[in-house]
Amino acid sequence: MEWKALRESLSYALDVSDYRDFLGVSTELINDEQPLEFMHETRSDSKFVPDEARRESAGMAGTA
């Protein structure tokens, strides 16, 4: 539960660096576009993120 809450918080902020740290991966392993896509998917599916942010991410998920 704690892990999911942190993932959703980081996804809401769209902070790629913190999200990468959360996952424990380096820039050599994944580029910035991959975590950004994951964050948008999480935001668009979350019931805890404001509607405006969900709609914004729904339009961005899968475009990276």
Domain that holds residue 46: 2-60
Residue 43: both structure tokens together: 């935001």
Using a pLDDT cut of 70, give the percent of the chain over it: 94
**How many alpha carbons fall within 13 Å on the CB side of residue 36?**
9
pLDDT-derived band at 62, boundaries 50, 70, 90: low
Q: How many domains does the chain have?
A: 1
For the entire predicted model, the pTM comes to 0.80
